[in-house]
Structure 1
Amino acid sequence: MPPGILKLLSLLDLPAFVEGRYLDVLAANPLATALSPRLVAGGNRLRDVFLDPAEQAMFPQQERAAAALVAGFRESVGTDVDDPRFIELVGELSLASPLFRELWARHDVGVLSGSVSVQIDHPQVGQLVLNREKLLLSGSDRVMLVIYHPDAGSDAAEKLRMLASLASRATLDR
C-alpha cells in the first residue's frame, strides 16, 4: 500500500477504503469501518455481501448490489481465470451462496470504476443514499480507491456527520 494513499485515507472526512482486484479490502479509514464493520483490512467484499447476513441486511436492494459486485469482479479479474486466488474465491462462494452461483452463471461483466448511487440501511443512522466512486490507482494492478459521499445538503450528509461523530466517540471511549 503506497504511504501516500494511507495518508489520504486518514485525511478524508468521508468513508473510504482501498480494494484489490479480488475485492479484498487493503486499507480503510475509520468512517468506512463505521459505515460497515466489515470494511477493514483483510476483509473481502464478495465474502461479506454473499456470506454475511449483517452485511446483506444493510443493502435493501441486495440482489442488485450483489449483481453489480459480481459483474465488477469479473471485469477486474479479466482473463486471468487460472489464478489460484480467483479459483479459490469463486469455488468458495459457488458452494456457499446460491445467489452467487446464479449471478456468476450469467457471465455479466461490468465496469468496476466510476460513480453509482448506493442505498444503505445502517443500523445506527438509518437509510443513507450515497454516491460511490471507484478510482483506479495509477501504477497498480487494478487497485481502487473507493469513496462514499452524500449529495450536499442531503439527509444522508447529516446522517454521515452523525455516524462520524458516533465513530469518533467510540474511538475516544476505548
Structure 2
Amino acid sequence: MAEALIQILIVIFSVLLLGGITWTLFWRNPRKLNQHRLAAIDGISEAGAVKRLSVRPFLFWLERFFISCESLWFDQDFIYVFDGQKLAARYKFEQILALEVTKIRINHARIWRIRFASGASELEHGSTNKPRQDGASEYKFVPAASIFEPSFKEFLQILREKNRDAIKTESRFWETV
C-alpha cells in the first residue's frame, strides 16, 4: 500500500514539474508584448520596440514570495510596469534611484531590485502588491538575461548612458552576453 502511494506521489510530482516547466517556457515569459499590453502604451505601435526586462522563473508557484508580481518592460525612453494586462506604472531612466542585486537566487538566477523615486510614475499606481520603502516604488525581478535574449544588457547600456549613478551592482558575465 505504501509503495503504491509513493508511486502515485512521484507521478503527481513529475506531472506538476513538467507542466510547470512547460508553462514557464512557452506561456509565462513571452518575448514580445501582446496586443492588450501594447495598446496600453501610448505612442508605440510596434511590439518589437518594447523589450522584456524581467522574467518569471519557476519555483513551484512560490516565486511570488521572492519577486514582484508585476512584469517589467522597457524601450529607449521608459520602463513600463504591467500588473497583469494593465499598465500600472511608467518611469523614465532618470527616475531610477538604485539598481542592485539581492542575495536571493531562484534556480541559480539572481534577483535584482530596482527602486524609483517617490511619485515618479506618470501613471496612477493600481497595484496593492507593491512593497513601499520611504515612499519609493520598488520591484524585485529576475532579469531577462541569456545568450538568446540579451535585453538586460541593452537595458544596462541605456541606464549607463542616462543614469550611471543608479547602478549599485555591476552585472556578471552571463547578464552581459
Q: TM-score range by the shorter chain?
A: under 0.3
TM-score (norm: length of structure 2)? 0.26
Which structure carries more relative contact order (alpha carbon 8 Å, separation 6+)?
1
When the two structures are superposed, what TM-score results if normalisation uses the length of structure 1?
Answer: 0.26
Structure with more helix by fraction: 1
- Say which structure is richer in strand: 2
